[in-house]
């Protein structure tokens, strides 16, 4: 059985650069659920929600990933 891979919010989905993150939704003010991101290296803007980047629907996801 393969594990689900989640997208690291701090890693750009286009170039793997570092994202600045603006949290837009949380669970009880503690757990991040959604965020706007902008890459500090290439300027790519994206939206991250519940573990995945929205742009992953239209392109191959190039960000760092994790699973557990």
Over the stretch 18-28, which tens digit does the pLDDT of each residue have?
999 999 999 99
Instruction: For 19-60, write each residue's pLDDT tens digit.
Output: 999 999 999 999 999 999 999 999 999 999 999 999 999 999
Predicted TM-score (pTM) of this structure: 0.91
Q: Please state, in angstroms and rounded to a whole number, the distance separating the CA atoms of residues 46 and 13.
A: 8
7 contacts: CB under 8 Å, gap ≥ 6: 13, 48, 51, 52, 53, 56, 61, 63, 64, 65
pLDDT confidence of 2, banded at 50, 70, 90? confident
CB neighbours of residue 36 within 10 Å: 14
């Amino acid at each position: 059985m393969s594990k689900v891979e989640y997208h690291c919010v701090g890693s750009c989905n286009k170039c793997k650069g570092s994202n600045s993150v603006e949290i837009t939704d949380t669970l009880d003010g503690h757990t991040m659920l959604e965020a706007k991101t902008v890459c500090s290296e290439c300027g790519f803007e994206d939206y991250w929600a519940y573990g995945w980047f929205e742009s992953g629907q239209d392109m191959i996801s190039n960000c760092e990933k994790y699973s557990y």
